[in-house]
Amino acid sequence: MAALTLDELRSHFSVRPGYLSACMVGAPPRETVEALTGDLGAWGEGHRDPARYGAAVERARGAFARLNSVETDRVAVGSQVSVFASVVAGSLPEGSEVLLVEGDFSSMVFPFLVQQQLGRLTVRCVPLERLAEAVTPSTTLVSFSLVQSATGRLADAEAVVEAAQRHGAATFVDTTQAVGWMPVDASRFDATVCHAYKWLCAPRGTTFFTVSEEFAERLHPFTANWYSGDDVWGSCYGPEMRLASSARRFDVSPAWQAWYGTAPAVELFASADIAAVQRHCVGLANALRRHLGEPESESAIVTWPDPDGSVIAALAAADIAGSSRAGRARVAFHLWNDEADIDRVCGALGLA
């Protein structure tokens, strides 16, 4: 089947003008709203079938695998980025060195710092632009966000992967601020993690973890539970434990309703021309950067200095949804945005 065009994908959304905050919370497609509304009504009547939720989880898992160019058996599901980061951090051998990015999102930092406090790991933090050159033969793992949350800056993933492979280090990548607006090939990395409630426009509480077969053998399933069993419904009671041989052994018991709304959202993006979405989003972002006097970039996220919060206050007064991070105003352009949103921002800030 031909991929959905940008216009076809946009037809599934009814997002208000001025919503420029997909990097904080995505807006759901109508299919997700309908799924959650219908499920809430059925729940209220006592018609709740766990098997139906399990089917939604598998639909979402398969769609995410297609979207990220990996096999379905390489995808685990959970609820939060930090849970999977903690599995990776806790599985590293004692004495490992982990290379992190200064200012990266804390869910990709704190799990490793906890292990450092326990005396198990050594953590080094470097600026994003120095990440690839900072990899050395002593580096065990490079952990970073593909797109930085605070600034929208893109990591030079090719350079980092090349450096990691040259020095025998593994790569663990947070793709939360990337998947949905830019093509991502998760098979390039040893492991990735992605929360779906931002650019994939799903309910909060659904996260995907991709892991290569080789790297999975180096991880301990610290979160083992009934849902990570080889036979899910046959794993409800101990003490016998048979975990799945695939990445499912890292599954975390799903928040049912959230997954019922996630499946249709991720399926839409897996059926779409994401390269067209990227061109649209980056084009709008760069148009705003020109008005702001900021250098152009390949990111759909635009940030600029706002130390006193006056910029974000002006946007809010004009009913423009943005956010403030690390002393900077932040807006994001997704598939539903258009040139009129640029005019709204410029009008709110008094820009020509």
Model confidence pLDDT, tens digit, residues 157-215: 999 999 999 999 999 999 999 999 999 999 999 999 999 999 999 999 999 999 999 99
pLDDT tens-place string over residues 38-61: 999 999 999 888 899 999 999 999
pLDDT of residue 47: 85
Indicate whether this model's pTM tops 0.75: yes
Query: Cα torsion at 339, 344, 347, 350 (round to 10°)?
Result: -90
Identify the segments of the chain with pLDDT beneath 50: none
Q: What is the CATH number of domain 50-270?
A: 3.40.640.10
Structure tokens at 61: 């898992």
Nearest of 329, 292, 267, 352 to residue 23 by alpha carbon: 329
**Angle, helices 339-349/310-317, rounded to nearest 10 degrees:** 120
Q: How many CB atoms lie within 10 A of CB 99?
A: 28
| Gap between the Cα atoms of 334 and 77, Å rounded | 25
Give the position of tokens 């061109």: 279
Residue 304 and residue 285: Cα distance in Å, rounded? 12
pLDDT digits (tens, 9 = 90+) for 327-343: 999 999 999 999 999 99
Residue 335, token pair as written in the block: 């598939």
Is-contact 94 120, C-beta < 8 A? yes
Same fold, 6-27+273-349 and 50-270: no
| Average pLDDT over the chain, rounded to an integer | 97
> Looking at residue 1, what is its pLDDT?
74
Cα dihedral 140, 146, 148, 151 sign:
positive
Closest CA to 284 of 324, 331, 323: 331
Q: Which pLDDT belongs to residue 209?
A: 98
Cα–Cα distance for residue pair 268/264, rounded to 1 Å: 6
CATH class of 6-27+273-349: alpha beta
* pLDDT for the residue numbered 49: 85
Q: CA-to-CA distance for 172 and 224, rounded, in angstroms?
A: 20
**Which residues on neighbouring strands pair with residue 153, listed in sequence order?**
none
Q: Taking a C-beta distance cutoff of 8 angstroms, is the pair 280, 6 a contact?
A: yes
The residue length of the chain stands at 352
pLDDT for the residue 267: 98
Closest CA to 169 of 221, 116, 98: 98
Q: Residue ranges of the domains in the chain?
A: 6-27+273-349, 50-270
